[in-house]
């Protein structure tokens, strides 16, 4: 506060929370509180899901690949770097922006669905490829996945499959929504 900036003085510094509160006041002009808080909860949850389940652990593993000499220091000369970049800036950005704009199709089909599909069926196979290329085996790739993905609940199915109990939870959720016997 009080600093000179572009010929004027800074009179107020707003955090993102202050800015959101101001924005919400605009929303409350037309909507009930539940619509507005519900919207921001969904938006935040998508961003957290993307960050915590995918972006942070993948970024950390990409750093480890670079440190270990599995990929070069140049940013876009390996396929896995393009795949990660798209998970972040293509489908991942669409998911987050879709959630911020109440766009379910962008959030899901053009967003989180592709983030997950490309993580498991492009990025992980490419991780194994670069490791095998240097070491002749996939041990380092498996070790990275166990270190960064395994502790995250959302990736549990990848390591352990789905248990009968987990399938039962899915069935119950489905039936609560669509009625008993709706999931064959």
Contact status: 142 vs ligand HEC (CB under 6 A):
no
Contact status: 23 vs ligand HEC (CB under 6 A):
yes
Q: Which stretch binds ligand HEC (CB under 6 A): 19-27, 62-70, 91-99, 166-174?
A: 19-27
The residue (of 45 and 63) whose beta carbon lies closer to ligand HEC is 45
Q: How far apart are CA 62 and CA 126, in angstroms?
A: 11
Contact status: 101 vs ligand HEC (CB under 6 A):
no
To ligand HEC, the closest distance from the beta carbon of 103 in angstroms equals 10
Q: Which stretch binds ligand HEC (CB under 6 A): 11-19, 34-42, 125-133, 143-151?
A: 34-42
Q: How far apart are CA 115 and CA 109, in angstroms?
A: 10
Quick one: which of 163, 182, 166 has its CA closest to 174? Answer: 182
Please identify which residue in 26, 101, 142, 162 interacts with ligand HEC, judged by CB under 6 A. 26
Tokens read off for 40: 């921001």
Contact status: 14 vs ligand HEC (CB under 6 A):
no
Say what the alpha-carbon torsion angle 122, 62, 86, 72 is, to the nearest 10 degrees: -100
Contacts with 70 (C-beta within 8 Å, 6 or more apart), sequence order = 130, 131, 133, 134, 140
The residue (of 68 and 103) whose beta carbon lies closer to ligand HEC is 103
Tokens read off for 88: 């972040």
**Is 159 in contact with 152 (CB distance < 8 Å)?**
no
Contact status: 102 vs ligand HEC (CB under 6 A):
yes
Burial degree of 24 (CB within 10 A; 0-12, 13-18, 19+): middle
To ligand HEC, the closest distance from the beta carbon of 25 in angstroms equals 9
Q: Which stretch binds ligand HEC (CB under 6 A): 26-34, 58-66, 92-100, 169-177?
A: 26-34
Q: What are the residues binding ligand HEC (CB under 6 A)?
A: 23, 26-27, 29-31, 35-36, 39, 102
């Amino acid at each position: 506060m009080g600093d000179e900036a572009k010929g004027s003085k800074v009179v107020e510094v707003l955090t993102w929370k202050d800015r959101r509160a101001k924005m919400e006041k605009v929303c409350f002009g037309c909507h009930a509180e539940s619509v507005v808080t519900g919207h921001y909860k969904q938006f935040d949850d998508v961003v957290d899901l993307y960050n915590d389940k995918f972006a942070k652990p993948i970024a950390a593993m990409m750093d480890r690949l670079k440190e270990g000499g599995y990929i070069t220091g140049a940013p876009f000369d390996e396929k896995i770097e393009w795949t990660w970049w798209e998970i972040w800036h293509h489908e991942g950005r669409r998911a987050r922006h879709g959630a911020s704009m109440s766009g379910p199709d962008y959030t899901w089909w053009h967003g989180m669905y592709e983030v997950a599909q490309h993580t498991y069926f492009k990025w992980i196979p490419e991780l194994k490829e670069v490791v095998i290329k240097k070491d002749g085996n996939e041990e380092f790739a498996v070790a990275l996945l166990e270190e960064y993905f395994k502790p995250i609940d959302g990736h549990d199915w990848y390591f352990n499959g789905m248990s009968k109990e987990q399938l039962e939870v899915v069935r119950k959720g489905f039936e609560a929504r669509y009625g008993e016997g709706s999931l064959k």
